[in-house]
Structure 1
Amino acid sequence: MLKTISLFSGIGGLDFGFEEAGFETRVALELDKFACRTMRLNRPSWEVIEGDVNAVPSSVILEKGRLSVGEADVLIGGPPCQPFSKSSYWVRGDSLRLDDPRADTLAGYLRVLRDTQPKAFLLENVGGLAYEGKDEGLQVLLDGIRQVNQATGTRYEPAWRVVRCAEYGVPQIRERVFLVGARDGRQFRFPEPTHGEAVGDMFSPTREPFMTAWDALGDIAEPNSLDGLRIGGKWGELLPTIPEGQNYLWHTPRGGGMPLFGWRTRYWSFLLKLSKRLPSWTVQAQPGSAIGPFHWKNRRMTFHEMCAIQTFPKGLIMHEGRTEMQRMLGNAVPSLIAEILAREIRKQILDVPAKGRLALKPKRKEFVPPPERLAPVPDRYHELVANHAEHPGTGKGRNASKRVQAAE
């Protein structure tokens, strides 16, 4: 087995993919006690360190992993992404980003890279890390890697790409940034997308259609109980009136339902429902009571359904409550994309190509049931019918105006 050091492991999203590609997680470092407990429950053979990366010496990581400097085949990890996430712009405008103390995790990753000197490394983060004009986090990483090379004599030359997971067979629209580098200076080449809507022609290869939520969930039985899965609150009874693949925009003057809201005056994920014929939208880590994506059966997804959307291996168990479960799964990386990149690292950097087919890719289902029937809009929502104003545009909304006023 090839040997892996895992940082910011969560419940093992990256690790599960590397595991399927023939890597052994020798040691996993994670701060969150619930994630550590879940990793130990599902992978008792992993050496799990519960602690802050900036408080755990690299020597302890090597000792717990039974490794010497330079022995690990790959260092993997996804430093917490909140300072660079798209949601931080919604909440705080231009967030503090590198001034945010949670961004110190980037320095922690670089320190372990310097001290352990693996043959290869993989780092993932949210797409916002590389937003044009706001990529200071990415630049810190690239500068830090150059400093590692100067200090140790390594020759890591990182390649990076914003990866749209649905374009590689993941049944979920999720965007992540990946950096991959080799100690001996080899240039890593990201594999080209394999799935999409584009029709191939003589100049471009044909892609497979996107994998869908039905491909992932179609063979999972309905839960015996809806405890913890019902949608309550002010808007719960409105969800059954929205078609599959739609959100609150259905009930705007431009939609096909009742005009209950203004166009684009809410979050995209407000009352968002899965479609059997489309990939899932990104599973949220901390959704509000009316924030989806929700199952087409007008309920929250179960643990096993969210695992399937995230392409985790089957058979995982969790003993935590709904809030912790949602947070851990929503923060995780789809394991299929990790398996794909791990196989490429084996082939391109470690010279030991993996054999066989991808283990975590869902199987396409030929028969897709028709959409669920819509319910009538309950009477209590009729009082909201009006010719609601549309959102005025980017940077012109109420919250944006408040931020400008506060800055002045």
Structure 2
Amino acid sequence: MPTEPATSNAPSRSKLPVISLFAGAGGLDLAVERVADAPLSAPSTPTDGPFRVAVATDYAPQALDTLALNLPETATLPGDIRNTPTSELLHAGSLSEGDAALVVGGPPCTPFSKSGFWLAEKRESRDPNASLLEEYVRVVAQSRPEAFVLENVQALTYKTHQGAFRQLLAALSELGYNPQWKTLLAADYGVPQLRKRVFIVGRRDGIAFKFPEPTHAGPSETTRTWDRSKLPHVTAAEAFAGLETSPEAGELVEGKYGELAAEIPDGQNYLWHTSRYGGRDEFKWRSRYWTFLLRLAPDKPSSTLQAQPGPYVGPFHWENRRNDAGELRARRLRVPELLRLMTFPDNFQLIGNRADIQRQLGNAVPMELGKAVLRALTLQLGYVDPETDSDDRLVRSTSSAVLIS
């Protein structure tokens, strides 16, 4: 599939260039460009930092249009990565092999092939069945960045994908990058969302990357005890503080389960309407997904935002609104609220309808989680001086627990 020409404005050449793969709407890209912003802040104008995203590519042109709207100096290259040579990426970013400081990206979770780019005999020709993880390895191998950051769903580390995961780590190790991996909970880094993602980070010099220590702690689906010396998880209500929103078309939960959804208390889901709880006895115990009719709890972080939710998949806001008939209905989260839960800047612009926006944000990396990993990498690569108060604050400050817009 041929790619379209790259588009860009003139970038700042004094900053270190970054290649972004599977960029989507730009969650990791924002983290790259805003790594110098103080933790848990999203000012309308980013703090001047060491990096610039030189080129970003993605299969979805609409998501890439969103990225370009917010990062106008980044060259964008829409198209299938399997049909995009590394040389084309380098050319679009005005780069040569070894120029890039970083390669970043989160390959979509796709079926993994049993053979691919990590096999030496495969590197001389393209395997049409290669997985997107293999494409990431290919770009790292051929662009030779100083370091890389790969983000993916936690399921990549599960036993089901153990073989592919080991092959991925082996391939990156063979390139000399000594990959280190860890599953991180976004809420532990100030994101008001209980989203788990695995990060793999490697350095060209082979020095092992050290993941940042969590700055926050609190309960989650799998945690009942936590370090109370850390800041508490940022709640949904704290994230929405000071945010003024307007009703959006189609935000009310109507239809077959509209009345039931409105009766569910905050923090509860369809289980409220089983024989074990105080609602109607409408559903069998554990017969649905957890997110079915799920309401946000204002005193807790949100559950993971879904990229393609059905009409009755939450989380929905804890407040009800009346429809035209005067009946109480649950409402969907509004776009400014989604941005806050993803720790994106309030002035971030999105292209598309409501479903498009949900998909773009649901597929993105929460900016603050990406910033935490990238700040640690920036410090360890020596791009900031830990002895300098202002730079050290950008890497390790945890003084604020609520987004500053």
Q: Structure 1, unaligned stretches of length 5 or more?
A: 84-95, 150-154, 366-408
- Report the TM-score, using the length of structure 1 for normalisation: 0.79
Q: In 1, are the aligned partners of 2:264 and 2:272 still within 8 Å (CA)?
A: yes
Partner of 1:7: 21
Give the distance between the partners of 1:215 and 1:204, measured in 2 at CA.
20
Kindly indicate whether residue 137 of structure 2 is the aligned counterpart of residue 105 of structure 1. no
Match of 1:48, SS state, is strand
Q: Percent identity?
A: 41
Q: In 1, are the aligned partners of 2:344 and 2:367 still within 8 Å (CA)?
A: yes
Partner of 1:268: 290
- CA gap 1:305/1:102 in 2 versus in 1, 3 angstroms: farther
Shift of 1:213: 0.6
Q: 2:170 aligns with which of 140, 143, 147?
A: 143
1:221-276 Cα shifts (integer Å, max 9, x gaps): 131x3312111221122212011111011111111222211111111000001111
Q: In 2, are the aligned partners of 1:311 and 1:360 still within 8 Å (CA)?
A: no
Kindly indicate whether residue 196 of structure 2 is the aligned counterpart of residue 175 of structure 1. yes
- CA gap 1:222/1:362 in 2 versus in 1, 3 angstroms: farther
Partner of 2:32: 18
CA RMSD between the two structures: 2.4
**Superposed counterparts of 1:340-351, under 5 Å:** 340-351=372-383
Kindly indicate whether residue 154 of structure 2 is the aligned counterpart of residue 122 of structure 1. no
Kindly indicate whether residue 234 of structure 2 is the aligned counterpart of residue 206 of structure 1. no
Shift of 1:140: 2.4
Equivalent AA in structure 2 for residue 15 of structure 1:
D
Q: Which structure shows the higher helix fraction?
A: 1
- CA gap 1:143/1:357 in 2 versus in 1, 3 angstroms: closer
Give the distance between the partners of 1:3 and 1:221, measured in 2 at CA.
36
Partner of 1:48: 76
Q: In 1, are the aligned partners of 2:57 and 2:79 still within 8 Å (CA)?
A: yes
Shift of 1:289: 0.5
1:304-344 Cα shifts (integer Å, max 9, x gaps): 11111001122011230111111111111100011111111
Equivalent AA in structure 2 for residue 182 of structure 1:
R
Partner of 2:96: 68
Give the distance between the partners of 2:87 and 2:188, measured in 1 at CA.
39
Shift of 1:45: 1.1
Give the distance between the partners of 2:301 and 2:197, measured in 1 at CA.
16
Q: 1:292 aligns with which of 314, 323, 334?
A: 314
Q: In 2, are the aligned partners of 1:248 and 1:272 still within 8 Å (CA)?
A: yes
Kindly indicate whether residue 181 of structure 2 is the aligned counterpart of residue 160 of structure 1. yes
Shift of 1:355: 4.4
Equivalent AA in structure 1 for residue 377 of structure 2:
I
1:6-49 Cα shifts (integer Å, max 9, x gaps): 00000000011111112210000111011011112222111010
Q: Which runs of 4+ in 1 moved over 6 A?
A: 99-103, 358-362
Give the distance between the partners of 2:144 and 2:377, measured in 1 at CA.
16
Q: In 2, are the aligned partners of 1:311 and 1:362 still within 8 Å (CA)?
A: no
Give the distance between the partners of 1:135 and 1:360, measured in 2 at CA.
36
Give the distance between the partners of 1:228 and 1:262, measured in 2 at CA.
29
Give the distance between the partners of 2:31 and 2:395, measured in 1 at CA.
10
Match of 2:81, SS state, is coil
- CA gap 1:35/1:226 in 2 versus in 1, 3 angstroms: closer
Shift of 1:127: 0.3
Match of 1:343, SS state, is helix
Equivalent AA in structure 2 for residue 332 of structure 1:
A
Give the distance between the partners of 2:30 and 2:57, measured in 1 at CA.
15
